[in-house]
Amino acid sequence: MELILQGITKAFELILAFDPEVLGITWLSLKISGTATFISLFIGVSIGTAVALNDFFGKRVVISLINTGMGLPPVVVGLFVMIFIWRSGPLGFLEILYTPYAMIIAQAIIATPIVMGISLAAIQNLPPHLRLQILSLGASRLQMVWVLVKESRLPLLAAVMAGFGGVISEVGASIMVGGNIKGYSRVLTTATVMESGKGNFDIAIALGIILLILAFLINLMLTQIQQRQNPR
């Protein structure tokens, strides 16, 4: 219990002192996970909506694959991304291994199925006759899709929160493709693991608390936006 209290005290000391290293790690965590979430939002909502609105052979298999992808193990994602961008890999010419760019790619791959699965379920949950009503009013197919997405904005914002939560707390893939390099690719989760391994449990707990505070603040902001859209 004393160790936890020391960690909490250390966390507030680091925050109030505006420790430059902690601020840098926190900003990099937010930047990488935020970018990855934005990419996953664009890809996930697009594909999820497309699958929900179209009937094709093997649709249930595709939906099963999407749902399976929602539980992708981060270390497996990190392994395959690392193989692809390794110097001798297919994308080795990009030379992005052990950089924040590699971490964004890995986190986007982790978050995309989460956003995709929730988006798919949100669109499918709308009344089936709603699309026909929209089209009968003279809307184009693109306008119809936009209206359906707007009608699903509450669960779609939940998808954003789920996607962001899944990557801001991820550690396995980030270490594998980012390398945990001080001042360059070290984020809150990888720094926490490193400090724990060194036996600096007070600093590790402090970094964990800062991570929780960051995740809470981002989700609080998104929840405020979500609930403003809720008429009830």
Mean pLDDT (the chain) is: 87
User: Which pLDDT does position 230 carry in this prediction?
Assistant: 60
Q: Which two tokens stand for residue 186?
A: 């070290």
Rounded to whole angstroms, the Cα distance separating 20 from 210 reads 14
Tokens 């995309």, located at residue:
112
Mean pLDDT to the nearest integer, 82-89: 91
Strands (E), the chain: none
Tell me if 40 sits within 8 A of 70, measured CB to CB: no
CB 93 within 8 A of CB 159: no
Confidence of residue 198 (pLDDT cuts 50, 70, 90): confident
Domains of the chain: 2-228 (1.10.3720.10)
DSSP string computed for 82-136 = HHHHSTTSTTGGG--TTSHHHHHHHHHHHHHHHHHHHHHHHHHTS-THHHHHHHH
How many CB atoms neighbour CB 2 within 10 A? 7
Asked if 170 and 189 count as a contact pair (C-beta separation under 8 A), the reply is yes
Give the model's pLDDT for residue 131: 79
pLDDT for the residue 39: 96
Give the model's pLDDT for residue 99: 93
Confidence of residue 231 (pLDDT cuts 50, 70, 90): low
Percent of the chain with pLDDT over 90: 40
Report the percentage of the chain scoring pLDDT > 70: 95
The 10 Å CB-count burial string (b at 16+, else e) for 58-83 is: eeeeebeebeebbebebeebbbbbbe
Tell which residue, 146, 121, 125, 124, has the closest CA to residue 135: 146
Half-sphere exposure of 221 (CA within 13 A, CB side): 7
Q: How confident is the model at residue 228 (pLDDT cuts 50, 70, 90)?
A: confident
Taking 80 as the threshold, does the pLDDT of residue 118 lie above it?
yes
Instruction: Express each pLDDT in 128-183 by its tens digit.
Output: 788 778 888 887 888 888 888 888 888 888 898 999 998 998 998 999 999 988 88
Work out the pLDDT band at 232, boundaries 50, 70, 90: low
Q: How many Å separate Cα 10 from the centre of its chain?
A: 28
pTM for this entry: 0.89
Predicted pLDDT at 145: 85
Whether residue 12 is predicted with pLDDT greater than 80 in this model: the reply is no
